[in-house]
Structure formats: C-alpha cells, structure tokens
Amino acid sequence: MDPRALRARRGRQLRYSSHRTPSPAPTCEVIQSASLSPKPEARMSSAVSPNAPTDVPEMPAIAGVKLATAAAGIRYKGRTDVLLAVMDKGTAVAGVFTKSKCPSAPVEWCRDKLSQGKARALVVNSGNANAFTGKTGRAATKLTADIAAKALRCSPAEVFLASTGVIGEPLDASKFDGVLATMAGNVAPDDWMNAAKAIMTTDTFPKVATRTVWLGKAKVTINGMAKGAGMIAPDMATMLAFVFTDAPIAQVALQSLLKGGVADSFNAVTVDGDTSTSDTLLAFATGAAAANGAPKISRAADPRLKAFTKAFHAVLGDLAEQVARDGEGARKLVEIIVDGAVSKASARKIAMSVANSPLVKTAIAGEDANWGRVVMAVGKAGEPANRDKLAISFNGIRVANRGARDPSYDEAEVSAAMKQPKIQIKVALGLGKGRDRVLTCDLTKEYIAINGDYRS
Amino acid sequence: MDPRALRARRGRQLRYSSHRTPSPAPTCEVIQSASLSPKPEARMSSAVSPNAPTDVPEMPAIAGVKLATAAAGIRYKGRTDVLLAVMDKGTAVAGVFTKSKCPSAPVEWCRDKLSQGKARALVVNSGNANAFTGKTGRAATKLTADIAAKALRCSPAEVFLASTGVIGEPLDASKFDGVLATMAGNVAPDDWMNAAKAIMTTDTFPKVATRTVWLGKAKVTINGMAKGAGMIAPDMATMLAFVFTDAPIAQVALQSLLKGGVADSFNAVTVDGDTSTSDTLLAFATGAAAANGAPKISRAADPRLKAFTKAFHAVLGDLAEQVARDGEGARKLVEIIVDGAVSKASARKIAMSVANSPLVKTAIAGEDANWGRVVMAVGKAGEPANRDKLAISFNGIRVANRGARDPSYDEAEVSAAMKQPKIQIKVALGLGKGRDRVLTCDLTKEYIAINGDYRS
C-alpha cells in the first residue's frame, strides 16, 4: 500500500496519534498497519481507491471479543488470509445471507447452526469461497469447525464460518490444522484493522466502523468490518460483514435488528448487479456490558434499545457505503436518490435500475452529465413514471425538467460538478411520496481489467 | 472503414461479383460500398467488430419498396444520417416497440399511427433519438411527417418515423425540409446496404438479412435491416429494425407474425441490459407479389404461411444475432443455452441473468472459463436451481457437474476453446424440460471507452 495513500486514509488516526505522542517519528500503530498491509503481489488491485474514506476510526476493544489473523497460504502469498474471532460464552449470534439459489458451503453451515443461536468463534478465510465445491465443500466446513472447536474447547456448532474468493476450487481446510490452534493462543482484543485486512480480496482498503452508545446506564460499543468490492448487489450486498457488540441482546432481538438494518444499508448498495454465492452478514452480541449495568434486551422493540438501534444501523450503513466506495475499479461514489415515486418499493426499483445501468455508470466514469441515460434507466425499470413530470439533477443542478432539458442549466457548471469524487443523481418523479436512496460507483476500464484477469 | 475488413466482411459478395465479372478490377458494388461507408470522424468506434459476419448477402429489390439515403447533418458530418423508404399504396404495417415508460417521440408517433395499419413511408434518422424532448419532440415528429407527406403526396398518418442517437437534445426537423423532397425524387429499389449504413450510430457494420421463399405459387422476398450496438436488452432489444416484404399479408396477420418472432430473436439478445427509449421494430408488407399470384393472407395461422413464417423469423433472428455480434466493444459472440429448467420462462430468466452478468462477461473478455461466475449468475436469477444437479459447459467441454468441478476436464483444452470468437455457455439444470437460448457478447474496456465519451 502506498504510504501516502495510507496516511491520507488514516488521517484522523495520525492526528490522534501525534496528539498523544509528541515524537515526530511514525507511531507504532501506523508502522504496524503499513507492515501488515498485503504485499503488492498478493493484491488484485494495486492502488487504494481514490474514494477510500480519509477518516478511519480507531477501533476500540469490545469486551468478550478477541481476534487473531494469520497467513495460512490458502491462495495468496505474503499476506494474512485467515481471521479468527473468539467470543466469550453466552454470545448471541444473528445472520442474514445471500438469496442465491447456489450458496456456498459456509453459508449453508451458518444457516444450519444459527438456529441454536450461540457462538464461540468466527473463522473467515479469503482467497477461496468454498462455493460450488460439492461434498468436498461440506467436508471442508466441518473440518474447519472441528479444528477451531478443538482449539477453543467448544462445540463445532458454535463455530461460524465465512469464506471469500474464487468459486469452484476445493478449499483445503487441512491448512487450518495447527494454524487455528496457534491463533487461539494469540488472540488479542484490539486487532480490528488487521482483522479487516485479512478478509480482503479485491478490496483496496480495509473497511471498519464503530459506534459507542448508551444502553441504559452503561456505555456499549458496536464494531463492524466488511469486505466487498465486486459481485455486489442487493439481497445481501457485500460479500462478508461482521458486527460485534458487548450489549446484552438476545438472539431473537439481534436477528430482528439485523434484518431491519439490512434493507437500507447493504441491500441498498450495488457495484455490478452481481450477487455473490457467499454473501454473509453476522452479528455477535457478547453481553459483557451487563457487568457494567447494561440491561438485558430480549425484544428489538424495547424502547431502551432506541439509541442502540440507530447506532447499530449506522455501523451497517457506514460499512455498506465503504463497499460502494471500493467498488472494483471505481473512481467515484454515486448516490441515487429517487423521490416522488408511487411507493418506497417503486423508488427502490427505479434507483436500482439507474444504479445498475452500465450506460449511466460509464457516463459518470466519463464525467458526463448524460441525463438521457438516466431517463432510459428510469424508463426500463417498469415502474410508474411519467416522462413529462420527470426532473433530474446532478449534484444539485437540475438538468432536466418536465419531459425535456432544463433550459436554465449551465453546461459548464454541470461539467465542473461532474468532476467531483461523489456524484448525486436525483430523480424526481412527481407522482407520489415514495422515496429511496441507493449507493453505487462508476464503471471504469479498471473494473474490466480486474475481472478479466482474476481466476487465470 | 478499413478496406481489408470490408473485404472480409463482404467475402461472399466479392465471390459473387467476381463470378459475374471476369475483370480483376474491384466491382462497382464494392467501390460503392467503400465510398459510402461512414468516414472515420463520424464513427463512434474506429474498427469493424471482429465478430462481423463474413458472409454478407446481396440484398434483392422488393417490389413496392424504394429507398434513398442522404446527409442532413443532424449530428454527424461527412456521412449519411437519413433514410427514406417509400412504399406503394396498400402497404400493411405492423410494429413492436420499447416497453420503456419514457419512450421517444417517434415511438409514440408510430404507436398512434399503427391503428390505421397502412404505410406509405418510413423516415429514419441517426444522430438524435428525439427522446425526452417534450413538446418540441412531438412537434418535430409532426413536422417530419408533414414534410415527408408533402413530398410523397400521402397523409402524414401514413409516414412512420424512427430516430436513434443522443437522448434529450431537441431534433431540428426543419433540416429535413428540402432534403426529404430531394430524396423522394431519388429513391431506388436496391440501395439496401446504404440504407443500413445511414441508420448506424455506434454500430461498426451495417446489418442486413434477406430470405426468398415460396408463398403459394409465387416467390416472395423478405429483407431486413437493423442497427444496435449498445443500450440493448430485452423488451425489444435492438434500437431499430425494419423488415420489408412483397408478400400480401394483412396488417393483423403481420402484427401477429412480428410478435411471434420477437420473443426468440430481438428479445433474446442483450448487450448491456439497458433498454432504449427508442426500440422500434416495424414490418411492412407491400403486397406486390399478389401480381405474381401470391395468395392474400389474412390470418397468421394460415397454413400457406408456414414457410414464410419460418423465413420471416429467420430474418429477425439473423438481424438480432448481428446486433449481439456488434455489441459495443465486443470481441466475442456469446450464446447462453439453458436446459433442464422448470419452464422455458425460467430458462430465459436464468439465461438472461448469465448474459447480463458483468462478471461473466468480463471473464469471457479475459478468455477465462470462469464457471464459478456462471454458478453465481444462475444462483442470483431467483429461479429454481439445485446446485448439486447443475452442470456447465463451455464450447461443449463440461467443466462443472453435480455441484462441483468436473474432475475429468482438461484446463488446457478449455483455455484453447475460450480463444474462439464464439463462446457457447451451456447450463444444464437437471430439473425439467424448460430450455431457452439468448445471445450476448463479452464486456471489454472498449465498451467503457465508447460509452464513457459519447455525448461530451
């Protein structure tokens, strides 16, 4: 990773660090991050996305969660590719998964184990998705869980699994033998950035988010990490995301929180309209904050959970936006807002039609306010729309109104606006009160380069 | 147009010509084609697609149809951009149009005029789609029809219109004044290739097809032309296609024939999943062959129409394939065959999911038999599929079977197959008897280049 890009990305942390450390030398934290970033030969993309967030939070520890990463040599050389998260006894787990009819073996494993609702460990590997691997794939999930369970002295059914990477190649889970035991001895509470790095594939930056919020009279923390980049579309958009909290939330309530938060976060993000076989979002609640007086929550509708719910959904939204920012080859973050639709569902369908249109996305890559293509994408969505009531804006500049080009708009002003790193396309339908928002990115030659030479 | 590419493309014609013309000098026909091909500065793409058909038919005249092309300077310089087709009195017309909720003004014009079922003229311009142009757009269609009607002494309601090109720019129809009158004086029966060239936008080669078939005891001819390249997706795939015949077929029968033929031709083709606001397929039947004894057909189910229907649908299929071959930036024609689905409709949905997947299309551009992405695309289609029954082949080589990689396939053999200009992906679901086929192309950097710099 380019050190300048790393510095830019980690600006807030550098400021925090120098505030605490008078020495002008690089802080330990930055050195650690730099040294642990994947080596160039292990990266699919060579440069950090220009859309990478400049403010990366310091990730606090979460009571009841410890992390370790390692290089098991699954596919990549010279970088970490396994994450082990170990949770205290009594941790509740909830999950939402891909709607693919051909899910990966780990997705089937997690779905099956979710019913008992308790988790002691999460094992994630990058480089191999263990998808479409038949019986071998099922055997690999079982072996991985068995190895982890032995190392942690828990039941294999308490071990949750996720894999990301190439599809159709058998995953050699025997590579975890020994590795997971060593990791279990090395777990630490503050390794969040390295954890987020270990699960990357074509991502150009690790994705983390955190919030701290009051629950009753106790402070509780929510940490999340995600990996995404390509094969991103609704029905559980990002490939893998994991959220952890020390709040004492029962499994049923946690599941409800998760489902409620997915619709406008991960399911409102699309990179290329392709849905992975491996999409997994898991949430773990250790309940450790009960020791500080946090009330035990059994229902998502509990009024004491209001601030927590907002923060929890903010973590999901933050991670989902980072996935869009790191869309493969993306140079621009694109926000599509549709209002005046006949319903929110209709607005979503139209917004997704715009967000997934290759012609809209290539126009944005070309910094061209080609609203004609937005009209096309609205028209093809199949949802109620009246051409002669339609208005379209780019970054607040209305370019089309009532069925024709807005006569008042200034081409030079719009051209300048299109050079911004974030483009907001607003479509006002003028029919009703339905409104929705989705995030995507532009479609560049780099996307083709990344995906035209991945497996080979 | 590169003369070698032109020769390659027109191989059969050259052979025909030299058979008839002993002189080794280039035939008149080839010179004419070369001289009338669009000049480089007027082309969006500089090179003829490597997928262009090598056998281009000689287009026969059709009794009752005459054509002319001209350069009206709508948008392009140094190339033709208007086509006028003049039909004899009594010509029946049928049409199928985009399902876009925001159709272009000419689409609305044609839909409105179709009810009376008679046509005397077709005016097509390239360079400006006259879409999303509000009242100005409606006025432009009326003015164009009025100018043509005056030149031909017919009713404006007998003039059919189609426009293709940029969306949202007002079309200055006054440019047709004078031009159409001159063209009306210059119409000729054998200008099909030039007609097909005048309607091109980002197309790299003109698209024509012809069939001659018996109807009763008379030979009848079907000629078609199309333009496509980008913004191609089902719901009337190609942007513009026109089919002409001298067979005496009543309007109702013609409309039925057209609808029946669209499903497995134009609606089974996708380039980028984007549906144009201008998609138009019109069919004209002059009835002139009645003079040679062709029976008048009033019902599409008439058994005498069997051979004609097959030939008519073959023309539609031929044109649709050429559209896929000329997908923007495409280097490979891709045929997706899905069988064993629970129904034909389900097979279509799965085939389209594969055909529109950017990850599948980029893999093909990279000549990578990445069947894992095919699994992903099957899985995201939302149709019944059983991962453990799925088999996938590339150009006849089975690479995946029963939920895992086919152990017997030879990577080198598959790699060699992926270098072919045509790639067939076969997905066998093993569930039922539903089967379908769609055509698409690969997704290359050239697509981005073409579409990232179109309007500006």
**DSSP state letters, B48-63:** --TTS-S--PPPPP-T
Q: What pLDDT does residue A26 have? A: 26
Write out pLDDT tens, residues B342-375. Answer: 999 999 999 999 998 888 988 898 898 888 889 8
CA distance A42 to chain B (A): 20
Contacts of A366 in chain B (CB under 8 A): 451-454, 456
Q: What is the mean pLDDT of chain B?
A: 84
Query: Is the Cβ pair B455, A167 closer than 8 Å?
Result: no
- Decide if B264 touches A, using CB distance below 8 A: no
What is the average pLDDT across B142-165?
Answer: 96
The residues of B that are catalytic are 238
Give the torsion sign (CA, A178, A179, A184, A185).
positive
Q: Residues 136 to 155 of A: which have CB under 8 A from any B CB?
A: 136-137
CA nearest to B98 within chain A: A380
Contacts of A103 in chain B (CB under 8 A): 379, 387
Length of chain A: 456
A94 or B49: whose pLDDT is higher? Answer: A94
Q: What pLDDT does residue A456 have? A: 36
On whether the CB atoms of residues A373 and B167 are closer than 8 A, the answer is yes
pLDDT over threshold 60, residue B234: no
Write out pLDDT tens, residues B399-421. Answer: 999 888 898 888 899 999 999 99
pLDDT over threshold 80, residue A17: no
B33 or A424: whose pLDDT is higher? Answer: A424
pLDDT over threshold 80, residue B392: yes
Query: Is the Cβ pair B274, A98 closer than 8 Å?
Result: no
- Decide if A94 touches B, using CB distance below 8 A: no
A39 or B123: whose pLDDT is higher? Answer: B123
Judged on CB neighbours under 10 Å (0-12, 13-18, 19+), B16 is: middle
Q: What pLDDT does residue A253 have? A: 97
Q: What pLDDT does residue A230 have? A: 60
What is the average pLDDT across B50-56?
Answer: 84
| Long-range Cβ pairs for the range B359-362 (8 Å, 24+) | B359/A230, B359/A231, B359/A272, B359/A274, B359/A451, B360/B425, B361/B334, B361/B440, B361/B441, B361/B442, B361/B443, B362/A447, B362/A448, B362/A451, B362/A452, B362/B442, B362/B443
Write out pLDDT tens, residues B430-452. Answer: 999 999 999 888 888 877 777 77
Q: Give me the residue from A133, A367, A448 closest to B404, CB to CB.
A: A133
pLDDT over threshold 60, residue A224: yes
Q: Per the residue annotation, which of A238, A270, A280, A286 is the catalytic one?
A: A238
pLDDT over threshold 80, residue A9: no
Q: What pLDDT does residue B229 have? A: 65
pLDDT over threshold 60, residue A19: no
Q: What pLDDT does residue B230 have? A: 60
Query: Is the Cβ pair B133, A404 closer than 8 Å?
Result: yes
pLDDT > 70 fraction of chain B, expressed in percent and rounded? 86
In chain A the first and final C-alpha atoms are separated, in Å, by 24
Q: What pLDDT does residue B273 have? A: 63
Q: What pLDDT does residue B40 have? A: 29
Write out pLDDT tens, residues A108-154. Answer: 999 999 998 899 999 999 888 888 888 889 999 999 999 999 999 99
Q: Give me the residue from A132, A381, A445 closest to B387, CB to CB.
A: A132
Q: Give me the residue from A134, A362, A447 closest to B388, CB to CB.
A: A134
On whether the CB atoms of residues A374 and A360 are closer than 8 A, the answer is yes
Weakest mean pLDDT among A235-244, A413-422, B242-251, B340-349: A235-244
In whole angstroms, what separates CA B259 from the centre of its chain? Answer: 15
What is the torsion angle, in degrees rounded to the nearest 10, for the CA atoms of residue B374, residue B379, residue B382 and residue B384? 100
Query: Is the Cβ pair A167, B373 closer than 8 Å?
Result: yes
Weakest mean pLDDT among A241-245, A384-388, B394-398: A384-388
pLDDT > 90 fraction of chain B, expressed in percent and rounded? 57
A-B CB pairs within 8 A amount to 245
Triad A252, A258, A259: Cα angle to 5°: 90
Both tokens of B252, joined, read 């109702």
**Residue (of B36, B434, B94) closest to B253 by Cα position:** B94
pLDDT over threshold 90, residue B17: no
- Decide if A374 touches B, using CB distance below 8 A: no
Per the confidence metrics, is the pTM higher than 0.95? no
Q: What pLDDT does residue A181 have? A: 96
Q: What pLDDT does residue B28 have? A: 24
Rounded Cα gap, residues A298 and A287, in angstroms: 12
pLDDT over threshold 80, residue B188: yes
CA distance A371 to chain B (A): 8
* Pairing between β-strand B121-128 and β-strand B240-245 as defined by DSSP bridges: unpaired
Which pLDDT band, with edges at 50, 70 and 90, does B453 fall under? low
pLDDT over threshold 90, residue B285: yes
pLDDT over threshold 80, residue B32: no
On whether the CB atoms of residues A327 and A45 are closer than 8 A, the answer is no
CA nearest to B236 within chain A: A380
Write out pLDDT tens, residues A281-292. Answer: 999 999 999 999
Is the ipTM value over 0.85, yes or no?
A: no
* A427: β partners: A338, A392
Contacts of B370 (CB under 8 A, 6+ apart): A454, A455, B359, B360, B363
**Residue (of A120, A119, A140) closest to A128 by Cα position:** A140
Write out pLDDT tens, residues A167-194. Answer: 788 899 999 999 999 999 999 998 899 9
**Residue (of B373, B397, B388) closest to B429 by Cα position:** B388
Count the Cβ atoms, other than its own, within 10 Å of residue B375.
27
Rounded Cα gap, residues B338 and B351, in angstroms: 6
**Residue (of B331, B409, B404, B410) closest to B372 by Cα position:** B404
Q: What is the mean pLDDT of chain A?
A: 84
**Residue (of B64, B65, B59) closest to B32 by Cα position:** B59
Q: What pLDDT does residue A229 have? A: 65
Query: Is the Cβ pair B404, A132 closer than 8 Å?
Result: yes
pLDDT over threshold 50, residue B70: yes
Write out pLDDT tens, residues A32-47. Answer: 222 222 322 333 445 7
Which pLDDT band, with edges at 50, 70 and 90, does A10 fall under? very low
CA distance B136 to chain A (A): 8
Rounded Cα gap, residues A378 and B240, in angstroms: 20
What is the average pLDDT across A57-61?
Answer: 95
pLDDT over threshold 60, residue A30: no
DSSP calls for A327-391: -TT---EEEEEEEEESSHHHHHHHHHHHHT-HHHHHHHHTT---HHHHHHHHHHT-S---GGG-E
Q: What pLDDT does residue B129 have? A: 86
Coil/strand/helix, residue B83: strand
Both tokens of B143, joined, read 């003015």
Where helices occur in A134-265 by DSSP H, the ranges are 134-152, 179-186, 192-198, 251-262
Which pLDDT band, with edges at 50, 70 and 90, does A395 fall under? very high
